[in-house]
Amino acid sequence: MTILVTGGRGHVARAVVARLLEHGHEPRVASRQPDATGAPAGVELVEADLTRPETFRAALEGVSKVFLYAEPKGIAGFLDEAGRAGVEHVVLLSASPVTSADPDRNPLARMHRSAERALIDSGLPWTFLRPATFATNALQWTWSIRAEGVVRAAYPEAHNDAIHEADIAEVAVRALTEPGHVGRAHLMTGPESLTQRRQVELIGKAIGREVEFVEQTPAEYRATLDQWSNGELTDQLLRYLSDNDGVPVPVINTVELVTGRPARTFEQWALDHAADFS
């Protein structure tokens, strides 16, 4: 069975590849830049770009199952080609905001809903993965922690339910390789609700030196975010932080129910990524 893993440079995709190999499967890794995926030696690499339909056929040849990133542009054409290629199951990396009360207000929710809808409309057997906040979002702090030992952000007491990419990957691999997941949407979180301040403390603990949280005003933080994000995404992030300022968020045990073991803590994530901050 050949399993195509798209978005091969992404943190989740890399973790999916590692766990497929651990379980004795042979993934094919697809990316716009296959040589930049960091895939282990011997893993088959292929170019695939959802904005370039001419790359679909070769990437999908002989593929039984697909781990797919939610890229709405071009996804319908990719799924059409997947159907012609005989793909039996697609596991889509979606996101938890699609379940929110007002998803149309959230640009990430709109994007992922569009991808989910395309997969349903394709007629292919599907599974949706809907993780909450990615723990890897904390990697945005790497430069300031390395250079100055500080994190500058607004709402230090805002909570989130960060999930380790390895746990998302574990659930993805179960969905790809075990029965019982077709037609299911796995909403998942990390095992605890932590403030941004506490996450920074745990990163400091992992790297063996104190990291200071320098609180910014929302306006100051907006100016920082606008350097790498569009205005709508900045608005959504600031809304999320404000709504959860001092408010613990609910966590669910999907990872444990699917894999048989508790989800990894943010403290474990920080230890796993200590080199990124050192």
CA dihedral for 102, 108, 114, 119, sign (positive or negative): negative
The domains of the chain are located at 2-131, 135-161+191-249+265-277
- Enter the pTM of the model: 0.96
- pLDDT for 224: 87
pLDDT, tens digit (0-9, with 9 covering 90-100), for 144-161: 999 999 999 999 999 999
CA dihedral for 46, 50, 53, 57, sign (positive or negative): positive
| Residue 135 CB-half CA count within 13 A | 33
- pLDDT for 240: 95
- pLDDT for 101: 76
272 vs 103: CA distance, rounded Å: 33
The fold for domain 135-161+191-249+265-277 equals UDP-galactose 4-epimerase; domain 1 (3.90.25)
Candidates 3.40.50.720, 3.40.50.300, 2.130.10.10, 3.40.50.1370; correct CATH number of 2-131?
A: 3.40.50.720
- pLDDT for 218: 96
Task: Report, as ranges of residue numbers, the positions in the chain whose pLDDT lies below 50.
Answer: none
pLDDT, tens digit (0-9, with 9 covering 90-100), for 52-65: 999 999 999 999 99
